[in-house]
Amino acid sequence: KQEVTQIPAALSVPEGENLVLNCSFTDSAIYNLQWFRQDPGKGLTSLLLIQSSQREQTSGRLNASLDKSSGRSTLYIAASQPGDSATYLCAGRGSTLGRLYFGRGTQLTVWP
């Protein structure tokens, strides 16, 4: 069974800082890894998807990397803004068809 861990659990930073959120997983036979954003009481918004054959993906100020051999992924947020405040979840898709394994998330607060 895939287990996903996210560190830190919470992070509070001033606006403008560059951030790194960490995600680790136990089974290197990961099919792909997806980063999501969740606003309080809301559903999930997909940010980035990294296939197992890829090393990183970029979208705007976001960059996600994947290292299968070490069982790690990082989400890098450049020049953080108050609007980035949310919970960030990583999820691995295992070899079993269709299911995702989620970490518990990093709650990010960016203050002006």
Partner 1 sequence: SAVISQKPSRDICQRGTSLTIQCQVDSQVTMMFWYRQQPGQSLTLIATANQGSEATYESGFVIDKFPISRPNLTFSTLTVSNMSPEDSSIYLCSVEGPMVLGYTFGSGTRLTVV
Considering the rule CB under 8 A, would residue 55 count as an interface residue with partner 1? no
Structure tokens at 52: 């197992």
The one segment of 14-22, 66-74, 75-83, 85-93 that binds partner 1 by CB under 8 A: 85-93
Q: Are 86 and 12 in contact (CB under 8 A)?
A: no
Q: Which amino acid is at 79?
A: A
Q: In the bound complex, what is the minimum distance in angstroms from residue 104's beta carbon to partner 1?
A: 4
Per-residue mark of binding to partner 1, 6-35 (x: CB under 8 A): --------------------------x-x-
* Reduced 3-state DSSP string for 7-34: ECCEEEEECCCCEEEEEEECCCCCCEEE
- 3-state DSSP percent of the chain in helix, strand and coil, to 5: 5, 55, 40
Could you say which of 11, 22, 27, 49 contacts partner 1 (CB under 8 A)? 49
Q: Give me the residues that bind partner 1 (CB under 8 A), please.
A: 32, 34, 36, 41-46, 49, 51, 89, 91, 93, 97-100, 102-105
